[in-house]
Amino acid sequence: MNKVLIINGPNLNLLGRREPGIYGSQSMETCLAELRKLSEIEYFQSNHEGAIIDKLHEVGFDSSYAGIVLNAGAYTHTSVAIADAISAIELPVVEVHISNVHARESFRHESKISSVCRGVIAGFGLDSYRLGVEALIHS
């Protein structure tokens, strides 16, 4: 059961081009190619809160997955609806962030989803995704 779904939220489709001083210059495609050497990875990105919730519902009861790695982007700090979806599903969800959100603006210090996630990884650049995948496939 080494299959993992990675979900990226808003603005993360611009990885590699978006604020490279904060998020680096590597694209998600390069990151996914590396991760696929470790594990079977499904990938979903959306800029829309409801689409992220739909994806959590769709996959969240599928026991062929070890779990879900979720970078909810700015919805991390605002979305009770995504938190409720994580609570509703059966698969474990690991919250990840590329940047160390606790070293940034104070509005990024609050997460609506941390308390319903299996764990939280932040601040390791795109390596945060690998750490999230490994946390799921080794637990």
Using DSSP bridges, classify how beta strands 65-71 and 93-97 pair: parallel, antiparallel or unpaired.
parallel
Least CB distance to ligand DQA at residue 1 (A) = 26
- Residues paired with residue 8 on neighbouring β-strands, in sequence order: 45, 71
**According to the binding rule CB under 6 A, does residue 73 interact with ligand DQA?**
yes
Write the CA distances from 17 to 11, 12, 23, 91, integer angstroms. 10, 10, 9, 32
Does residue 111 belong to the site contacting ligand DQA (CB under 6 A)? no
Residue number, 97 or 112, with CB nearest to ligand DQA: 97
Q: Which of 105, 45, 113 is nearest to 78 (CA)?
A: 113
Q: Is 97 a catalytic residue?
A: yes
112 scored as a contact of ligand DQA (CB under 6 A) = no
43 is catalytic: no
Q: How many Å separate Cα 41 from the centre of its chain?
A: 12
Q: Taking contact as CB under 6 A, which single stretch among the options 24-32, 44-52, 93-101, 131-139 is the one that binds ligand DQA?
A: 93-101
Burial-class residue 24 by CB neighbours within 10 Å (0-12, 13-18, 19+): middle
Least spacing, CB of residue 124 vs ligand DQA, in Å: 10
Binding flag, residue 26, ligand DQA (CB under 6 A): no
**Which residues lie near ligand DQA (CB under 6 A)?**
11, 71, 73-74, 76, 97-99, 101, 108
Catalytic residues: 23, 97
